[in-house]
């Protein structure tokens, strides 16, 4: 197991696969677990996680590091959130917002196991509804396939992201407009983001995900 | 200093409560219809096996009785001689099986029969809860199609917020995406094709029938969702008239 990149000291590489160091040896998602020097490393699949896909495609910065407070929108069963939880460690914290009660059942189970995770059953489209349940965050991460996904992201960054904090936004071009070329959509998204934020980097997610991109922005 | 420990515990409790309280009619309907469909699939697979096995005994039944459910009932209710008489067979290619060899065949038939019974019970249950929750949809679409629409749409609420053109295409999403992306021929309908007024329409009228049905379904669903009055029969009559 070696460190993936000096910039990401908590992300590891082994035989071209990503791993994070976990305090827990439970494999919630059937992911492979490697034990090395009494530490547990969980395999992080770029096909299942857009964040891992962006890393694999060479994204230069993700902002998420040891001790980060993360607001995660569209947490689903908790796959990517669990790796974020590994990266930020005991001194970090991740708030996992998910709208669907059915998938959130798995999310709750993981949150009960991990001391730095908590679930929030709410729509990210209405950030005011979880005002009492979250705190200001160093990172806002969003993975929601909705037509107004950019608007949802900006609303949340506006309400909860610290100044100079990082925002990570995954875009599924099909959800915005299926008839347009993904490239055009990404261009439009870039323009909207640039009005409010500093765009740090972005990557399309081929071959891991079709017609997807991940944007990294910084709050001015 | 933020007390993350407390925040975490409170949020977990709150999330559990929200999940608990979110259980509603839509969940009962979606689980029932998914099981109804799978029970039918499983029963039909097993029935094919039963037909092969039973053919050692009375092969002439295989082609004479096409309906699976009827086949199983006959195997269970009537003995070989009675069946031969009823099917007007003077002889059979089937062998006389010993009690010992017949027993497992009948046991299989009896299990398949109980699958069909369970499916019918679930349909009755669905009809009952849909009669209270969405009587207009039930009346216009029927139990199975009505429930499938709720399953495809996600919930009655989501259906109520959909334009009728989306309801018309539910279940044909793949073909629709293909059309939008690459200009392939657009689909005319999704699962509403299962409605007798659409499925039974002549080929060149199917598209129109699908559109009209989707319009009426949309009205029925919205009326149900906003707890309006019963207009199911009226909608059905209007639809029949327009499709004459
Ligand atoms: C693509 S999945 C997320 C996968 C997850 N990020 C991962 O990598 O493991 C999108 C999730 O967003 C949820 N979602 C959709 N709309 C939402 C909203 N308005 N607020 C919160 N979650 C939403 C969906 O229920 C779904 O679980």
Q: Using a CB-CB distance cutoff of 8 angstroms, which residues of chain A are in contact with residue B14?
A: 120-121, 133
Same domain, A10 and A79: no
Rg (CA), chain B: 24
Q: Helix A182-196 to helix A149-160 angle, to the nearest 10 degrees?
A: 20
Handedness of CA A150, A156, A159, A164 (dihedral sign): negative
Same domain, B74 and B85: yes
Which CATH number do you get for residue A177? 3.40.50.150
Same domain, A22 and A87: no
Same domain, B124 and B152: no
Same domain, A37 and A122: no
The answer to whether the CB atoms of A119 and B11 lie below 8 A apart is yes
Ranges in chain A, pLDDT < 70: none
A104/B contact by beta carbon, under 8 A: yes
User: Which residues constitute the domain of residue B105?
Assistant: 25-133
Q: Which of A108, A119, A135 sits opposite B2 (nearest CB)?
A: A135
Mean pLDDT score across all residues of chain B: 94
Q: Is residue B14 part of a domain?
A: no
Alpha-carbon distance A70 to A88, whole Å? 9
Residue whose token pair is 């160093």: A138
Confidence of residue B173 (pLDDT cuts 50, 70, 90): confident
Q: Is residue B110 part of a domain?
A: yes
Q: Is residue B166 part of a domain?
A: yes
Same domain, A106 and A191: yes
Percent of chain B with pLDDT strictly greater than 90: 86
Same domain, B100 and B190: no
Q: Residue B50 pLDDT more than 90?
A: yes
Q: Is residue B7 part of a domain?
A: no
Q: How many domains does chain A have?
A: 2
Same domain, A38 and A127: no
Same domain, B87 and B116: yes
Q: Of B133, B156, B177, which residue is a domain's last?
A: B133
Same domain, B140 and B244: yes
User: Which residues constitute the domain of residue A179?
Assistant: 50-218
Which residues share a beta bridge with A119? A96
Same domain, A163 and A179: yes
Which CATH number do you get for residue B148? 1.10.246.90
Of B190 and B145, the structure prediction assigns the larger pLDDT to B145
Give the pLDDT score at A99: 96
Give the pLDDT score at B186: 75
CB atoms within 10 A of CB B91: 7
Ligand 1 close to Cβ of residue A99 (< 6 A): yes
Give the pLDDT score at B179: 80
Q: How many domains does chain B have?
A: 2
Give the pLDDT score at B180: 77
Q: Of B118, B133, B148, which residue is a domain's last?
A: B133
Residue of A98, A118, A126, A185 to mutate, interface with B, max B Cβ within 10 Å: A118
Same domain, B143 and B244: yes
Percent of chain B with pLDDT strictly greater than 70: 100
Same domain, B76 and B142: no
pLDDT tens across B192-211, in order? 999 999 999 898 888 899 99
**Full-model pTM:** 0.86
Same domain, B193 and B111: no
Which residue puts its alpha carbon closest to atom 26 of ligand 1?
A: A76
How does DSSP assign B217-239, residue by residue? Answer: HHHHHHHHHTT----HHHHHHHH
Which CATH number do you get for residue B109? 1.10.287.4070
Same domain, A35 and A120: no
Give the pLDDT score at B115: 97
Same domain, B102 and B171: no
Same domain, A80 and A156: yes
- CA angle centred on B150, ends B149 and B156, rounded to 5°: 130
Same domain, B158 and B62: no
What is the rounded average pLDDT of the residues B60-68? 94
Same domain, A15 and A106: no
Asked if residue B159 lies in contact with residue B153, where contact means CB atoms within 8 angstroms, the answer is: yes
What is the rounded average pLDDT of the residues B171-184? 78
Which residue of chain B comes nearest to A132, CA vs CA? B7
Tokens of B215: 């319009």
Same domain, A77 and A25: no
Question: Residue B32: CB partners within 8 Å, gap ≥ 6?
Answer: B122, B125, B126, B147
Same domain, B126 and B88: yes
A103/B contact by beta carbon, under 8 A: no
Ligand 1 close to Cβ of residue A71 (< 6 A): no
Overall size of chain A counted in residues: 220
What is the rounded average pLDDT of the residues B15-22? 97
Alpha-carbon distance A118 to A108, whole Å? 8
Same domain, A54 and A143: yes
Asked if residue B12 lies in contact with residue A145, where contact means CB atoms within 8 angstroms, the answer is: no
Same domain, A26 and A116: no
Q: Of B100, B118, B133, which residue is a domain's last?
A: B133
CB atoms within 10 A of CB A92: 23
Ligand 1 close to Cβ of residue A76 (< 6 A): yes
Same domain, B127 and B144: no
Q: Which of B5, B11, B23 sits opposite A133 (nearest CB)?
A: B11
Q: Is residue B173 part of a domain?
A: yes
């Amino acid at each position: 197991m070696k460190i993936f990149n000096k910039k990401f000291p908590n992300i590891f590489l082994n035989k071209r696969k990503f791993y994070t160091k976990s305090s827990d040896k439970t494999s919630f998602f059937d992911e492979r677990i490697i034990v090395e020097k009494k530490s547990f490393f969980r395999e992080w699949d770029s096909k299942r996680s857009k964040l891992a896909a962006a890393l694999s495609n060479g994204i230069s910065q993700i902002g998420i590091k040891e001790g980060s407070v993360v607001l995660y929108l569209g947490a689903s069963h908790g796959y990517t959130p669990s790796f974020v939880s590994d990266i930020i460690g005991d001194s970090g914290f991740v708030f996992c917002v998910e709208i669907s009660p059915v998938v959130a059942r798995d999310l709750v189970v993981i949150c009960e196991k991990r001391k730095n995770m908590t679930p929030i059953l709410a729509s990210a489209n209405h950030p005011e509804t979880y005002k009492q349940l979250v705190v200001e965050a160093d990172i806002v991460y969003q993975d929601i396939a909705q037509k107004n996904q950019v608007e949802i992201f900006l609303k949340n960054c506006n309400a909860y992201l610290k100044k100079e904090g990082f925002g990570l936004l995954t875009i599924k071009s099909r959800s915005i407009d299926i008839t347009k070329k993904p490239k055009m959509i990404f261009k439009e998204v870039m323009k909207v983001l640039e009005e409010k934020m500093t765009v740090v980097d972005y990557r399309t997610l081929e071959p891991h995900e079709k017609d997807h991109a991940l944007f990294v922005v910084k709050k001015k | 200093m933020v007390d993350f420990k407390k925040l975490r515990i409170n949020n977990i409790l709150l999330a559990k409560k929200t999940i608990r309280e979110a259980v509603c009619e839509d969940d009962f309907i979606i689980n029932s219809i998914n099981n109804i469909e799978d029970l039918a699939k499983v029963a039909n697979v097993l029935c094919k096996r039963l037909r092969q096995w039973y053919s050692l005994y009375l092969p002439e039944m295989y082609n004479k009785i096409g309906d699976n459910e009827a086949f199983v009932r006959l195997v269970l209710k009537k003995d070989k001689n009675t069946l031969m008489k009823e099917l007007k067979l003077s002889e059979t290619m089937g062998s006389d099986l010993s009690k010992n060899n017949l027993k497992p065949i009948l046991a299989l038939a009896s299990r398949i029969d109980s699958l069909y019974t369970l499916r019918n019970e679930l349909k009755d249950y669905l009809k009952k809860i849909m009669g209270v929750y969405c009587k207009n949809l039930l009346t216009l679409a029927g139990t199975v199609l009505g429930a499938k629409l709720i399953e495809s749409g996600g919930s009655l609420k989501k259906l109520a917020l959909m334009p009728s053109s989306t309801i018309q295409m539910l279940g044909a999403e793949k073909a629709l995406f293909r059309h939008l992306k690459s200009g392939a021929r657009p689909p005319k309908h999704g699962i509403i094709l299962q409605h007798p007024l659409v499925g039974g329409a002549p080929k060149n009228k199917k598209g129109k029938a699908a559109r009209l049905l989707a319009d009426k379904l949309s009205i029925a669903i919205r009326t149900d969702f906003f707890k309006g009055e019963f207009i199911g029969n009226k909608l059905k009559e209007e639809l029949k008239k327009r499709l004459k």
